[in-house]
Amino acid sequence: MAEPDDQTLEGLLAPSLADFERLAKAAFDALPARFRDRCGDLSLRISDFADQETLRVMGIRDPFELTGLYHGVDLTQKSLLDAAPRADEVWLFRRPILDEWCERGDETLGHMIQHVLVHEIGHHFGLTDDDIDAIEAASD
């Protein structure tokens, strides 16, 4: 395979946070309606990395190890009697997702973003990592 020349790479930039947000919204919109409807007021947030406090609390030293995070009270734990909690959020972390996408090299960036998004929405539904892994294995 020939090496790309400078003209081939000219103007090529990593997707910005805004690009990621557009891809994440497109991935969410592509989900089945009954899945989206159960998400309610779930907010989607994009950042380059998780903040240091989140990494510390989770015991993660390398910020590239966390591609996404669900923050909130999952649907199995919510009650109408609860005080108005902070809004549920799904965080997608651009740099770790880009890193994993480059390492894998077997899917589009949009598919990778959708994979992380669906995983974090699974946590919103009350699923554990093991539950999500089992669902993914059964669908392969």
Cβ atoms 67, 96 nearer than 8 A: yes
Per-residue pLDDT of 45-96, as tens digits, reads 999 999 999 999 999 999 999 999 999 888 777 666 666 567 899 999 999 9
In SS3 terms, 8-45 reads as HHCCCCCCCHHHHHHHHHHHHHCCCHHHHHCCCCCEEE
Pairwise CA distance, residues 46 & 93, whole Å: 6
Pairwise CA distance, residues 24 & 117, whole Å: 7
Per-residue pLDDT of 22-59, as tens digits, reads 999 999 999 889 888 989 889 999 999 999 999 999 99
Q: What's the Rg (C-alpha) of the chain? A: 17
pTM: 0.84
- Which residues are bridge partners to 71 per DSSP? 89
Of the candidates 70, 75, 72, the residue with the CA atom closest to the CA atom of residue 121: 70
**Residue 93, phi then psi, degrees to nearest 5:** -105, 110
Residue with tokens 């009270």: 73
